[in-house]
Amino acid sequence: MHTKFMLSFDDRRKLPSLLLIDDDLVSREVTATVLTLNGYSVHTAADGPEALDMLADKGVVPDAILMDAQMPGLSGVELIAQLRTRTKARIIAISGSDPQEGVGAAADGFLQKPFGVEAIEKLLGVSEKPPASGAPSRLVPKEPVISPETLAQFRAMMPESAVREIYVAVVTDLNQRAQALEAAIAKGRSDEVRRIGHAIKGGCGMAGALQAARLGAMFEEDSGESESNQLDNRMALLSDLRAATRNLERILEGDLSV
């Protein structure tokens, strides 16, 4: 049984991790959200220097970089050259107009805004998505990532730095739980899947992390389906959990101004 689970698990496409550099807040957040909901791990930077710092710290090791070609300050060919000294990632220039002279040649590809996930995947050579499993995303588009009421209560009791630490801890825990879930799903350990789901539901519920708490509750329920359907549903739910975690990370990157 484990062999069957492992083969199905490993056959799923491997998505590249991305670093998105864009000085326009709306464009950056919309693009990051769409990519996250499609299963990508996305880090964001508001300008060239911030991106270079992220790469220098080794905390972000992307497979590909989506870089706005026209930003104030360090941008264009100069930014591409500096990125090359810090990463082996493919660099894709993005812009609402034709790229500046030299940018197209310096980058590994170009996308004109607005663009969809399909355009990125074609440029990066991402394999086709696996056949639909009948397990749609459980993320609700307008569902609050963090409960405004819980956040207000925390802010009334403690300084903003302490509130931030709570959600940093939640994100760290969710990333660890996701890895544990991945292993439990691969081994077909229903009891472990339910146990981890229960822990996510409880911890995130206390912190007011609504999306993640609801997904944790769904792992805890873990209905007894046929083996193949169960794997598909658990994998889809795990992808949703990672997207919810990334939504929390983006709120932290925006200084928690919910």
Say whether 93 sits in a helix, a strand or coil: strand
Q: What's the confidence (pLDDT) of residue 5?
A: 34
Parallel, antiparallel, or unpaired: how do β-strands 109-112 and 18-21 relate?
unpaired
Q: What's the confidence (pLDDT) of residue 50?
A: 94
Cα end-to-end span (Å), the chain: 45
Q: What's the confidence (pLDDT) of residue 227?
A: 52
Residues of the chain with pLDDT under 50: 1-13, 129-134, 226
Q: What's the confidence (pLDDT) of residue 57?
A: 83
In the chain, % helix, strand, coil (3-state, to 5) comes to 55, 10, 35
Q: What's the confidence (pLDDT) of residue 90?
A: 94
Domain with CATH 1.20.120.160 in the chain: 148-253
Q: What's the confidence (pLDDT) of residue 8?
A: 38
Q: What's the confidence (pLDDT) of residue 19?
A: 95
Average pLDDT, the chain: 83
Q: What's the confidence (pLDDT) of residue 3?
A: 33
Residue pLDDT, tens place only, 112-154: 888 888 888 888 887 554 444 445 677 777 788 999 999 999 9
Q: What's the confidence (pLDDT) of residue 228?
A: 52
Q: What's the confidence (pLDDT) of residue 9?
A: 38
- Which amino acid is present at 257? S
What is 17-124's CATH number, 2.60.40.10, 2.130.10.10, 3.40.50.2300, 1.20.810.10?
3.40.50.2300
Q: What's the confidence (pLDDT) of residue 233?
A: 83
The CATH topology of domain 148-253 is: Four Helix Bundle (Hemerythrin (Met), subunit A) (1.20.120)
Domain with CATH 3.40.50.2300 in the chain: 17-124
Cβ-based neighbours of 61, under 8 Å, separated by 6 or more: 17, 55, 87
